[in-house]
A and B are shown apart, each in its own frame.
Chain A
Amino acid sequence: MSKLRFVCLPVVLAAFFQATPAFSHHSNLAYEVTKVITITGVVKEFRWSNPHTWLTVVVTDEKGNQVEWACEGRAPGVLLRAGWSKNILKPGETVTVDMSPARDGSKTAIIARVTKADGTILANAPPNQD
């Protein structure tokens, strides 16, 4: 495990400093649309950008291992009308994300719903709109 981490570190750092190429690539991943998984973790970054938003969440498992998920969201315009805002998700806060994972097994997913620690649900569309 520690060996794996050692190998992964440069990749993670590269992804951090050049985050968008990875996001850009991910934005075209095939997702398992018939499946929804749920994670709870801590927000590392929320990128409010077109054509898609990105939420990076770090999940810590029971053994203390940390896994970083890149969660793709809809565009800022539609999310704004759905009740989101540019700064609604702050680094350090805990969130629960319902999402469809990427088919290639990478820690990437497309968001169905985000639930904040106070129970507020951030959906993909305004209540009266699909």
Chain B
Amino acid sequence: MRLSGIILIAAIPAVLMAQSGSAPPDFSGVYYPINPFGPPAGRGGPPPPPDARKGPPPRPTRSAPISDGSLGRAPNAPLLTPEYMAKWEATRKSRMSGSSESDLTAKCFPPGMPAMMNMAYGMEVMQTKDKITFFSELNDALRRVYLDGRKPSQKVLDDPTYAGYSTGHWEGDTLVVDTVALRDNTYIEGFTPHSDEMTVKERIRLASPDLLEDRITVTDPKALTKPWETVKTYRKAKPGNDELREFACAEGLSEAK
């Protein structure tokens, strides 16, 4: 009886897939994040009526350089063990003093998983039957998710990267992705640190034809007191505003020499 129940549960994804016409959804396209850093700042558009310019100025855009911890730690931020909370506090102190030491993306390093899924400046998804590729305009960062059933080899497990090694499978219309082999010098979000034991699980689906949703669960037995969950949403780009641009971050750095 119990065994048949397990078989039934295991069969659900296949049934769902059959019901949706067997082919998985196509996530391909360019997307922009919805509120990656909180409420938006000023809006573009035609000149406002004269009086509007006397109105209150917009809120500042919360882009990377101003994430210095001056607003403290968000209530929904990952819950850190004392050791990693101390690391966060040290980084906060450094950033508040104006030091660039901890700001890896400003030094053109890849943002790394899972922070790269903020996709602050835009994301391009390229999908085939066996592989789905996510590209971030911010720092020209890229990750590949293998869908052909392969597993990470010992070689790649021994060689962690910023994006990590991702494998995925379809459960109905949802892409379930596991990411391992991540470097420990990136941040979960903001500048929240993590250990080399961090893994990331994602459930990605089209919440509506134009809205891609990524439910992310981060697990780290050394750094987190419990798994951290977050949801990112991205709106599909409209024609005329659907081109990502080259970032060439190192250009700014090389000019500095």
Contact = CB atoms under 8 A, between A and B. Distances in A.
Q: Do A and B come from one complex?
A: yes
Interface of A: 20-21, 23-25, 27-36, 38, 49-52, 72, 74-78, 80-83, 96, 98-100, 102-104, 110-113, 115, 118-130
A20 B43 CA distance: 29
Given A31-B68, A33-B66, A24 B253 contact: yes
6 contacts: A29-B98, A30-B98, A36-B59, A50-B247, A51-B108, A129-B241
Interface stretch (B28-36, B173-181, B200-208): B28-36
A75 B138 CA distance: 9
B173 to A, nearest CB: 25
B54 to A, nearest CB: 11
Closest 6 CB pairs of A and B: A119-B47, A77-B245, A28-B100, A113-B42, A98-B57, A123-B44
B58 A126 contact: no
A77 B245 CA distance: 5
B41 A124 contact: yes
Contact of B47 (A34, A51, A118): A118
A83 B44 contact: yes
Contacts of A111: 61
A109 B235 CA distance: 30
B244 A113 contact: no
Interface string B1-32: 00000000000000000000000000000001
Contact of B60 (A75, A100, A104, A122): A100
A24 B256 contact: yes
A130 to B, nearest CB: 4
B255 A119 contact: no
A24 B63 contact: no
Interface residues of B, number: 59
B40 interface: yes
Contacts of A21: 256
A74 B138 CA distance: 11
Contacts of A32: 70
Interface string B56-99: 01111111011010110000000000000000000000011111
A47 to B, nearest CB: 9
Interface in B175-223: none
A128 to B, nearest CB: 7
Given A77-B246, A104-B98, A130 B33 contact: yes
A123 B41 contact: yes
A103 B95 CA distance: 11
B61 A74 contact: yes
B122 interface: yes
A103 B96 contact: yes
Contacts of B97: 30
A75 B70 contact: no
